[in-house]
Structure 1
């Protein structure tokens, strides 16, 4: 029994000794590993001088000691409390680290280690506990295990070094933490050594570069002084030649000799403009490969390029290719019939007299190994001034000689001129009569069609009106003709086709009436026919039918077939017409009645139309009174961002609250006719600006329709800019202009549209695809929104061509950075179709009901931020 006890005692002592030896071996192995890592770290600090190589090497060394696929180093500034990542390698968050602000590290585990100054070994449970206690906030992708140590320099924390694992099977231990802490303490020493070496090498490189720059500057200064002395001597010689030379040929030779001493001048020429500035002459021309140049007209050569620029130019091979590509020059101007050798370097300077170019002096080189420099260009610029002085003196001498010859010739011819005076006087009288006849014709006839113009027509109408007053038996009728579709022809086919169309119409009108009837053009597409000496009033109706039939026939204009029609108003002379203008007014009213009834017809003026005219006058008074009493109020129609079922904003409509007539919605035509539509639009714009100033975030984007008069009339335009300038948030205001108005206004409004865009407001094209859907209009202006016409949108469900056009517009919207907005969305099917085609902004009856029945997902301001 005693022997067993002794044996057990010895076994326990042996087991304790074995554990002690195992622990010592483990510690020795760890010390050996650390010692090896420190040796590698010391060697790394001695060999690397670039911090961009240091951190990857540190990562590699840590990965040899521990599982460190995810490793990063972040520096910390205790004064500013700012974190700056120095190195970051992570299998999950690598792509998003550039977007993470430095402040994000302060609220995570990195900031926690920097604040506590203690190493941290953290698993997922500890992480959740730290988050619940409020010590940290969750940042980045969640990891299974995290190991971080503070980096200290002289007891001050300067950063954090950390590794993390996303694999729950690869966890760190306290031994790993001790190993990582020991390694991190020596990392700062190595980091300082690398930075010191990097700073020293940068200083050496910078100092070397500075010395090299100073040396270059000294060499350049020496060269410039030498060149300046040579240039000064050359200019003195040229000045002497300018003052002493009487022969221009010898002067040119001497100047060339001086230039040859300053720069290579084997190929040199002087070109002068003739008095008409249409040809070039070459009084001096020296070239290795070409004979003396001959006189030639101006073209697109190097010489002409310098003349156009009015300044000296250096053209090397690359510059020549760029000028040829841009169309500024064409090679081979000396003799286009023969292929010429192209120069590799060319210098040219203009000869200027009182800032007026009279010629060019040029040098050129054909050697690939030599190119002229800017200093040589400056020399040539100075030389050209002295050559210009000499040429001016020669031109003055030649001009004086020509004046003397002209004086002698005038004295010789004075006698002959006296004999011809009477003949000239008679010819002048005849020419004056012809001129007066021509002036009278031009003053009374249309320049395009040759028909009588408004002035001549009113004179003839006045005479016939007075004659009919005196002779009641003479019947007279007036036909007022307006051509159908002329505006469309003019805009789509061009003004030249429109002019040809008017000329052909005038010919057909003249063949439709009698010889003594008067056909006149009042302007644009408005014509009148004055029928006199009618036997009965039915004759005027026959003429109108004949005109309608002839205008209905197709027109073949420059290989293009054009169709049109005519709307005609007929007014018969009545004794109750006080003035001739009343007859013209009645015919005009009847014409508008014909157009409203379907066009391509005639209407005879009657008393009912007169009553309608009087009623129109009363409507004008009512609308003016409504504007004065501010009976027009704004109504806000919501606009939906259908992709997220969010409210983007509202479109502002005008509503007329009349005390007797009630609420009126569609009064644009009457307001346009009265001329107060811009004032109503200004009132709606004022209300929209007030709403933006009071509750901008709740209203979102406000769209206000404006007529094109706000861009064409200076007073309305200035008022519009003043309202926009007073807004704090002009980007929440959108101004919409109709497609038809912009087409009719043309290019004069482009500058004003650009200025509005610069003020910060958004621009929209309203009622697009209502007529011709001109795609060119989308490319000319920078629209933010293109609002599709309601009628066009309603046809999308049943018209394949309309859907194809929508797809094409969506492609254009992506390329030209505008957004489509669909109007007239009255059903869920149309809304879903638009969303499927990529058009997510819309308004209409169904949209309004949807927004009223649904809580919005976000405020309009959020949608606007997405638009921006």
Structure 2
């Protein structure tokens, strides 16, 4: 019995264990099914969010919220990859320990940072990665990644793919060692990644579509605004054009239109609010303002004419430009005293909100102003209103100008009618005087015509009349080829000495006497003309042959060579004549014939003066030779073939050399030795005077050390320069720089400029001398006495010395000439100037100059010259006294 009970008890115990195990298994299945249901619901929710999410941010938040229901995902972030640029970004980030990587590593690029970590590794491989610290360390040791951020227990990253291309990485991680990730978490993450890829593409396309819609909407809005503006501007232009037509029509109306200004105001009101408006006009004297039109909302009285004061209207007229002022601007002008300081009673601007003033141009001047203003804060004028009113004001000014002109014309007509009767009475008397005036005017016109074609001093035909008659003669011989004429170009010899010695008045008398003598040498049908100075031309009409021209030339030379008597004085002159004959060339012109005669005259001077030369092809050949010589001169100057010599300046008292004057020499292969005067003429002809002067200074500088071996350092140098240096600032500045760059002792350097150039351009010399004086050089005037400069000119110049012209020294024969040289010496002594005499050629001259008080001179009677050639020592040449 007890045995049966034990067996039954054991059987029941087994059944209970079996039932207990079944219950545990059922609980596990229930838990599994419940977990599966949670997973299913979460995945459905994620799918629902993926379908309805309006943005990726909303989708990311929803994914994170539901993912945390499935797996531990407190540490969760999503990284996206831009396929076109390869840039990684983190649009969603949640972590318990670390801040966002952009904040954790602010100095590094977020994309570069992510590429170096686990996220970049998953993006590169395209495979899911589940790793712990050991695997992380292994990847770091392999150089695959860098260890970034705080160390975690487990890290799970799954790639987000679209069309087999990685577009991002989904990451969860845990710091809790009690949590583990497995295949289920990996499958969940893979599923979520699939939805994320689809959502990202859908939202991306949606965003692109929205951006396109926004852009197109913006374009349409801009086009609409542009169209509205264009319609507004067109309507505004139509109103403006209509107003201009109305203003033009109003300007064409009768001058007595009483509503002129009221109608003008109505036209303005169509363009801009102008309930308060007035027009102010200046009187002819510009001293008073009148107001032909005035309208105001305050019903103020029409202002009366008043004198110009300091109101707003005067302010516009003063500044001559349109103005838009508000109450603050007006108050500022009042406070500064620019308006209403003199006439405060004119100030009625206290209630004004804005004020516009436009100056009106009438008869080319600002003679009035158009003004509008507002009292209401709601009525605001803009800059475009100011511009519009400014444009219209031009036409308004024209309309007012036409009205005023018409009114003035009507008044003039009325005044004219009143004066007609008075004038008619006076006209008879004026007619008598008019006849006399006509006669006088005809006489004056005849005199003016005569003076325009005749020389004022001698009464002979001038160049203009000569060229007319010469042109007529050329036309005549072209029609009558058997006839010919001759042209004599006459230049008086020694006229300059006569003019300089005896004065301009006596020189004029000499020219008048010469003209009288020349008239006696020709026929009545010939023409004697004076070209200027001492140059005369004779046109021999209808000669038989060249012998007729020779005969007249000989008669002229003989007549001119007869002694001249001026009071108690007697002196002689001569004539050098150049002859040209018509018919030698088919292309003869008045200019060419005159030029040929002039060329022949210079040949006559070169032959010794007092003779005549007939122009032929040899004269033309000489001109060609002159051009060749100019070319050779340029070549010699460029290749430094011109050498330097010095002319000694001697002390009359001691016989010692006190200074040296630089002289240039050029040994021409065909022309022989050419000296300073010839080189100056060549330089002037070739327009190389400035270059020749600089050449002189440079060659003096290069040989200066050799010069000092022969003389003491106190030796002074004289250099003659052209006035071309003083005419232009850049040339003068270049000369100054050249002097500063030399090794010369500038305190012992004299720069002389010709007196004739000083007389012609005194102001340039004053300015140039002031600049050159600052370099320390001494300045002087050369050829003194040749230019007849006024003594007061010397007072304004910072000069230290004068050098008397050599031609004046040669004329030291009469008592008057000696007195003149004495005057020069006393003038220099009075002005405390050092004076030098040039052209001392005899011992007798040395004696005379010493007695007159002169101390320094130069010339053949004192000459100690030497030549400096490049690379050679100075070679001295001692010349005996003449």
TM range (shorter): 0.3 to 0.5
TM-score by length of 1: 0.41
TM-score by length of 2: 0.41
